[in-house]
A and B are shown apart, each in its own frame.
Chain A
Amino acid sequence: MAELTASSVTSRRWRKPPLIRNPWLRWGLLIGTLAYLAVAISSVPVDGARIARGLERGGRILLGFLQPDFASRWYDIQIGVLESLTMTVVSTVAGVLLSVPVGLGAARNLAPAPIYLACRSIITISRTFQEVVIAIAFVVMFGFGPLAGVCTLAFATIGFMAKLLAEDIEEIDPAPLEALRATGAGWLKTVTYAVMPQVSARLVGLSVYRFDINLRESAIVGIVGAGGIGSTLQTTFNRYDYDVSAAILFIIIALVMTTELVSGQIRRRLQ
């Protein structure tokens, strides 16, 4: 290595390898992204005058957050929060109970093809539409009120839980399954003794996690009339009662944080 002079060492300086190795792909992605961003940003209308006027209102909202008004609408807030909480409980329980059969049906190693496809399409529909969109349909069916919200959240829970449950079931250890089948056990017994023991701990953990999500969502389905605190919140915004909105938001944040802490503890203990 005698010919390795000082200059050739510096020219062979190590450089960090690029994130994407193929230069065509790298530069193409970069240019494409920049072009898209330019088009996208230019298509966003920004009304400076409106924002300037809005900033004054923003100040009032901020003021409302500094002095939240819990007292003057306490009765409405109380009813709304209670409704959100009850909706969360009922919809989580109903959703989890219903998601077990759907999840079993959507597992490829347990279900025959027609049932598999039916359950998978339920999951896809439930996961594709945002809760509020589903709430619109349920409000048309059941009228305004918390029942529509419960059905919405339960339906969304089915999609979420059944998908994860099905993935879990597809990954179980097949040995117990085979052992149970070899003893001549029927489908139900196979599921009870070979499948459920392997997935039930995770099922409980996921249910607790979904409870959190449902609580958060129960605060917004009210915007389309499906019960809960959301309709109260929207009313306070429409009436410019920002101090009351702030109070409601603080209650929502506190509730979500509490349940998240509790569910985190439960999930940690389960693992």
Chain B
Amino acid sequence: MPVTVVNNTKVWQRYDKATRLKIWMGWITGTAITLLCWQLISNNTRWEFVADASQQLSAFLQRMFPPDWAYAEQLWKPLWDTITIATLGTLLAVSIALPLSFVAARNTTPHPILRYVALLIIVISRSVNSLIWALILVAITGPGVLAGILAIALRSIGFIGKLAYESIEETSYEPIEAITATGANRLQVLDYAYLPQVLPSFAGISIFRWDINIREATVLGLVGAGGIGLNLNASVDLLRWDRVGMIFVLIFVLVLISEAISARVRKAII
């Protein structure tokens, strides 16, 4: 009990002395590390450029407003491409990730070694950002929508796969045992015992990732992988900030709509 006697009265404290010391040490180390990191960043920063940041910001906003509304006409096709990249990329990822997740889940995997291979694929896919995947793919397929679709798919396999195999591992055992007891073979058990339990969460995960992918697809064009990011990159390079403003408006609306759709659908499923 962290109770000390001071002047003959008992004083209660939340932690004893050793714990308090540990907490203090933790805070001090954390602060020291953060300050050290900050110093490194500060050394690599040209502070004379930062000094006029407020002027830069106001100039930036002034040149962005009003957005170049006429430019929107040229943006419908890139916008369609962006949605296509996100949708087809997600579908491709779903069609690979779902079988993969059954291999990766502890209770459905055909073999432990295969399970580790599947887990490795999931981890690698998750660790690499879709922009980096796009960087690699643009070198192979050339710039364009195809590279974007593949990049989105490669990143999403890990995301969908991880959440999906976790939900497979959480399935309750009774229906599985019941179906197995009827003499069903492995495929039938999968179809009648596992799938009904996990399909709603699979659908929810996929829609959730689609929503994230819309956001990711807006920037893939910065490395040449198609979509509205291409126009963003070109407008930034030309310093046409009014066009950049127009693109920001469209991205904002697109992401808000996709988020609303995703939230609506997930609420209906779950």
Contact = CB atoms under 8 A, between A and B. Distances in A.
Most chain B CB atoms below 10 A, which of A45, A86, A216, A234 = A86
Contact of B46 (A57, A143, A224): A143
A164 interface: no
B178 to A, nearest CB: 15
Interface in B16-49: 30, 33-34, 37-38, 40-42, 44-46, 49
A36 B149 CA distance: 16
Interface residues of A, number: 59
Given A140-B60, A145-B46, A233 B251 contact: no
A40 B92 CA distance: 13
B131 A220 contact: yes
A219 interface: yes
Interface size for chain B: under 10, 10 to 19, 20 to 34, or 35 or more residues? 35 or more
Given A40-B84, A51-B140, A234-B135, A249 B128 contact: yes
B60 A51 contact: no
Contacts, number: 154
B88 A128 contact: no
A133 B141 contact: no
Contacts of B251: 128-129, 133
Given A43-B84, A45-B146, A219-B132, A86 B41 contact: yes
Interface in A126-163: 128-130, 132-133, 136-137, 140-143, 145-147, 150
A185 interface: no
A234 B223 CA distance: 9
Nearest to A236: B135
A43 B80 contact: yes
A256 B124 CA distance: 10
Does more than half of chain B's interface fall in helix, strand or loop, or is it mixed? helix
B37 A89 contact: yes
Contacts of B91: 37
Contact of B127 (A19, A90, A223, A252): A252
B50 interface: yes
Nearest to B81: A43
9 contacts: A47-B144, A82-B40, A86-B37, A89-B37, A128-B215, A130-B218, A217-B129, A245-B136, A249-B128
